[in-house]
Amino acid sequence: MSVTDKRLLIPLKLNGKVVYFLADTGASLSLVDSSQADDLKFGLRNKLSGTITGAGGETGEVWHVKDLEVEFDGKKIYQFLATDISNVRESIKKETGYTIAGILGLP
């Protein structure tokens, strides 16, 4: 199902548009890139009081999302939060040639 042999990238439908998510078996939640909210036509609701810490130690603000519909193989996926993952997005693009819209947590 992955589009590259370098990373596990999964094509999902986000608000009707096919995008790629990085599958992360160590992530306890799924994230959508807040810096792409306008392009992908979803909104940011209330900001959470805490921050999120990535594997590299960087921290970021986290929001609930609105107007976000994500599907895989016709089945809806729920419970996404939003944070700016532009550093991860650029790293994955450099490595694979693909731009990701988020990280799909597979705990």
Q: How confident is the model at residue 28 (pLDDT cuts 50, 70, 90)?
A: confident
Q: How confident is the model at residue 84 (pLDDT cuts 50, 70, 90)?
A: very high
At residue 1, the pLDDT reads 61
Q: What is the pTM of this model?
A: 0.90
**32 phi and psi, to 5 degrees?**
-115, 145
At residue 90, the pLDDT reads 94
pLDDT at 47 over 90: yes
Length of the chain measured in residues? 107
d(CA 44, CA 47): 8
Structure tokens at 70: 């994500």
Structure tokens at 89: 């997005």
